[in-house]
């Protein structure tokens, strides 16, 4: 709705090469349809975007910056505040992907001063098929609906229609009421636990995991291997073993990780790998879970005869 109508030939869309496909493919399509140019920011060896890279890529031609607050592969927090400062200085809007950050740390969209923010409900322990979009009211007002159907109209006549006000004009069709109720219940559940307790617990788990992995010289962690500024995930590879084999051997030991490109193929190409394993931690994990992962990682190379 925004990109197709407010971006034009010669405009630049700036995103990170570490973006999830959901915050990458739409901008590829917008660029192809409008003639805008897609510009990538690349992280340093530690997996973090530098201020120098922001200054190089966010220019007077930039009209939109899309960035994940936390990478779903690297687990590292982006310098959102610095990105917003530079984007707004040149009149660009900022789209914040909060899918990986919202389950692990508080996200204050007004304090961050972003123009759009989105998250998916299932990452917050709610049913699938739900999510949330935040946008500045003045931007929503001038954006046209992109789906047509029931409930998004003001009035319909034979040859024209008017739209409902505010977010409702984007909510075409029958609402996912069950998903909405489940989403509200999940948020209440998280609020009852409290952010301070959740962040402290996850930090302990990540620190324990990374400390153990640092003692494994045959294992590569992607992104700076520290718990500070990292949320929820650790991506890694066991040297000389395919990630799918690693995941299968871990599974046989009762440990579930994800192996693949994690819907971030440009990042895989940038890292020079085809895929990797990813261990995720959250409030339901325990120190024993982390220890089981580390113990079974020691077994991977033995099983493969290395």
- The continuous run of DSSP H or E covering 298 comes out as helix 287-303
**CB count, 10 Å around CB of 191?**
9
Closest CA to 31 of 18, 16, 15, 19: 15
Catalytic residue among 98, 119, 263, 276: 263
Q: Is 142:165 a contact under the CB 8 Å cutoff?
A: no
Distance CA 64, CA 12 (A): 7
In the residue annotation, 277 being an active-site residue is answered as: no
Scored b (16 or more CB within 10 A) or e, 49-70 reads: beeebbeebbeeebbbbbbbbb
Scored b (16 or more CB within 10 A) or e, 87-106 reads: bbeeebbbbbbbbbbbbbbe
Handedness of CA 71, 77, 82, 88 (dihedral sign): positive
Burial of 112 (0-12, 13-18, 19+ CB in 10 A): middle
Return phi, psi of residue 114, to 5°: -80, 160
DSSP letter string over 33-70?
HH--EEEEE---TTS---HHHHHHHS-TTEEEEEEESB
The tokens of 267 are what? 């990042």
The number of C-alpha atoms within 13 Å of 152 and in the hemisphere containing its C-beta is 14
Active site members: 263
């Amino acid at each position: 709705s925004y990109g197709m109508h407010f971006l034009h030939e010669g405009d630049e869309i700036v995103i990170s090469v570490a973006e999830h496909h959901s915050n990458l493919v739409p901008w590829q399509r917008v660029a192809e349809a409008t003639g805008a140019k897609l510009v990538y920011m690349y992280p340093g060896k530690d997996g973090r975007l530098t201020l120098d890279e922001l200054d190089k890529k966010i220019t007077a031609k930039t009209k939109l910056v899309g960035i994940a607050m936390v990478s779903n592969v690297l687990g590292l927090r982006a310098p959102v505040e610095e990105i917003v400062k530079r984007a707004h200085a040149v009149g660009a809007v900022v789209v914040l992907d909060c899918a990986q950050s919202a389950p692990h740390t508080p996200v204050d969209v007004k304090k961050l001063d972003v123009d759009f923010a989105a998250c998916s409900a299932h990452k917050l322990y709610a049913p699938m098929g739900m999510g949330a979009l935040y946008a500045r009211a003045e931007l929503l007002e001038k954006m046209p609906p992109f789906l047509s159907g029931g409930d998004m109209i003001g009035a319909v006549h034979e040859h024209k229609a008017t739209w409902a006000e505010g977010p409702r004009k984007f909510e075409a069709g029958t609402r996912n009421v069950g998903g909405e109720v489940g989403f509200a219940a999940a948020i209440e559940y998280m609020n009852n636990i409290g952010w301070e307790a959740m962040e402290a617990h996850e930090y302990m788990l990540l620190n324990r995991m990374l400390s153990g992995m640092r003692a494994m010289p045959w294992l590569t962690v992607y992104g700076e291997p520290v718990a500070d500024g990292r949320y929820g995930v650790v991506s890694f590879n066991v040297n000389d073993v395919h990630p799918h084999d690693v995941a299968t051997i871990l599974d046989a030991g009762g440990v579930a990780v994800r192996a693949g490109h994690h819907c971030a193929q440009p990042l895989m190409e940038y890292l020079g790998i085809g895929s990797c394993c990813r261990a995720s931690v959250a409030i339901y994990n325990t120190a024993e879970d982390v220890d089981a992962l580390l113990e079974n990682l020691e077994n991977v190379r033995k099983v493969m005869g290395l």
